[in-house]
Amino acid sequence: MQPQQQSETPVTGAESGVPTEQPPIADTGWTSAVATPSGPVGTVVLDTVPAPATQPVPAGPSPVEVAVVQFDPHTDVSANLAALREHVRTAAELGARVVVAPEYSMFAVSRLDERMVAVAEPLTGPFVSALRGMAAEFGVHLVAGVVEEAPDAGPGRVYNTLVAAAPTAEFAAVYRKVHLYDAFGMRESDIVAPGPIAEPAVFTVDGLVFGMQTCYDLRFPEGSRRLAAAGAQVIALAAQWMPGPGKVDQWTTLLRARAIENTVYVAASDHATPRAVGASMIIDPAGAVLSELGDQPGIATARIDPAVLDRVRTANPSLSLRRFEIAAR
């Protein structure tokens, strides 16, 4: 089945965001007047001083194409990896430099149980190694959710981990989910250990800073604000947003709120039905939905434009006007 593909409508009238080059300094040199005692009264000798070398104007961040992948991983890890690879291939062919795949891309069930523990791997294991190889093969930064062994958390526990792999096949960032889904009748903490409160997980692509979050983190605005305060201009959010009454509305409302209140882009990837609601999307810093999917597998793409980001933050400098800091509880 070919994935759906949807791209944004190009933003018109956006400024390039690249600083204008300064006029070059004349290469004939400049002169300074220096009085000399040996010359006639009232006369000066002009010393020619070599012109300073022209300094290059630093380039600002460049626009970056981003894709969010929506598919339906289940309990066959090899099949999940193969499906993800085809989506990443297509996203790269569409021009994406960053590809965001869902939470639990490695292994997904509707209710967590001991099967998660059985499939868990270290970050040096075959699934993450394959993600790193995939990022290198297609020349993208790839963000995807894995089930990570958690030997330090006690028996029968795992981490819900996001890995960002760079085109060099190195780790760009790693994030272990801190807010566990103990809500709506679910108990993620029965199996998953919370990640440590560490420095914000961010990575940089062409001068743009991406921060990472996972699913239920979305309901805690201080987490997104902490990423924005650390310099994130884009939040890559991977999810398995469980179905239920009003859940699609909550998902879309919260995503747009996080974008607006932090003046950041949000690239959110969810599972397709039946184990999630779908509705993966990319949102700009003013809360406009640039590209979105329904509930079936597919790919949504959009351009992250630093000029738009600058324009929104100039009009609404809420980050610089904030009066409170975020502290760990």
CA angle 50, 53, 58 (to 5 degrees): 160
Instruction: State the catalytic residue, choosing from 8, 65, 121, 177.
Output: 177
Radius of gyration of the chain (CA): 25
Q: Give the whole-angstrom CA distance, residue 38 versus residue 25.
A: 33
Strand blocks (E) in the chain: 4-7, 30-34, 45-49, 64-70, 98-100, 141-149, 158-165, 171-176, 202-205, 208-214, 234-238, 265-269, 281-283, 289-292, 298-304
Q: What is the DSSP string of 268-298?
A: EE-PPTTSS----EEE-TTS-EEEE--SSSE
Torsion of CA 39, 40, 41, 46, to 10 degrees: -50
**Phi, psi dihedral angles at 75 (to 5 degrees):** -100, 0
Instruction: Clarify whether 103 is annotated catalytic.
Output: yes
**Phi, psi dihedral angles at 304 (to 5 degrees):** -90, 115
Q: Give the whole-angstrom CA distance, residue 297 versus residue 166.
A: 24
Asked if residue 73 lies in contact with residue 83, where contact means CB atoms within 8 angstroms, the answer is yes
Instruction: Clarify whether 215 is annotated catalytic.
Output: yes
Torsion of CA 107, 246, 99, 283, to 10 degrees: -170
Quote the tokens at residue 328: 């760990």
Instruction: State the catalytic residue, choosing from 103, 148, 188, 292.
Output: 103
Asked if residue 172 lies in contact with residue 181, where contact means CB atoms within 8 angstroms, the answer is no
The catalytic site residues sit at: 103, 177, 215
